[in-house]
Amino acid sequence: MISIDAVITVIRDDVLLEKAVESLLAQHTPGIDFQILVGFDGPVEESPRAWKADDRVVIHRFPVNQGVGGALRSVIALSTADYVARLDSDDIALPGRIRKQVRVLENNPDIAVLGTSAMLINQDGEVMGELGARGDGGVIDVKDGLWRKNPITHSSIMMSRAAYERAGGYDASLRKYEDYDLFRRRAVVGRVAVLDEPLVQYRLHEGQITRSFKLRGLGALGIARRQRSVAKVYEVPAHQRVAWTSAWLAAQYLSVLGLRRWNYQRFGQRASGHVPANGASRGT
């Protein structure tokens, strides 16, 4: 029997976490040994929640806050599953997500990381648009462009735990960009791909945006150095490595200073009002 652990790390026990966990508990997973690993990253004021009594949920409580990279590394180290899936604590796994992703991975064992496209929603759960979609519904290889930018919604990924360990796992020293760093290292050991079907809802809200600016800026320089080294492995010409990395680094700092919006902010502003609440149409 295939085993899958869905991993959520969190710093607060709130209604958004409850909705995230419930969306995973609602997944139809016949023939799959499926459980949800929730990591409380540091002291968290907890409330009684029905989902905590479900035997498919395993809670790990860490006394000291480690940041996203450190918490993910700690939780996944406790997993023994064949595959590990991610979901952010304020996002939603759409019906069929787990079953569809594992089917692709089982049929394509050379894929090291598989993301999906995502619906963009606001604080109230209203659909604003779609991220990462091209419209053909197939599996899109994104490895070749990884050294330039991150085309994968972290909350949507599923990966082989063995390949994750071969790549060295999440870097516990990173509090931002931990996903981008891992994806590039995973690309060295296998394919990195996106299933062109929205299987998660990615929630965009003000608290999420503002609290990330400072940490993004602090981590950008280190990621730029790694970006150049990975591009070198890909045999990207030196002048292209320098040009692309410099442009990416400049974009990150302009965003930190408020002179440029993050990609998902710009998309959300464009898409708002153009997609029905039921998500029947794709965003632009």
Cα 101 to Cα 4: distance, rounded to the nearest angstrom: 11
**Proportion of the chain in helix, strand, coil states, percent, rounded to 5:** 40, 25, 40
Amino acid identity, position 57: V
pLDDT tens for each residue of 107-132: 999 999 999 999 999 888 899 888 87
Taking the CB of residue 88, how many other CB atoms lie within 10 A of it?
A: 21
Angle of helix 178-186 relative to helix 67-76, nearest 10 degrees, comes to 50
Q: Is the pLDDT of residue 221 over 60?
A: no
Determine the Cα–Cα distance for residues 113 and 105; give it in Å rounded to an integer. 9
Counting Cβ atoms within 10 Å, is residue 237 exposed (0-12), middle (13-18) or buried (19+)?
exposed
Report the C-alpha dihedral over residues 84, 88, 91, 95, rounded to 10 degrees. 10
pLDDT of 251 over the 80 cut? no
- Are the C-beta atoms of 140 and 192 separated by less than 8 Å? no
Helix, strand or coil, per DSSP, at residue 78: coil
Secondary structure element (H or E) that encloses residue 33, with its range: strand 32-41
Q: How confident is the model at residue 263 (pLDDT cuts 50, 70, 90)?
A: low
Q: Band the pLDDT of 36: cuts 50, 70, 90.
A: very high
Q: Give per-residue burial for 3-12: e unless 16+ CB within 10 Å, then b.
A: bbbbbbbbbe
Q: Is the pLDDT of residue 211 over 50?
A: no
Q: Both ends of the chain: CA-CA distance in Å?
A: 40
Distance CA 264, CA 261 (A): 8
Residue with tokens 């870097």: 171
Interval 153-204: pLDDT, tens: 999 999 999 989 988 999 888 777 788 888 888 887 788 999 999 999 999 8
Looking at residue 76, its pLDDT comes to: 97
pLDDT at 202: 94
Q: How many CB atoms are located within 10 Å of the residue 63 CB?
A: 8
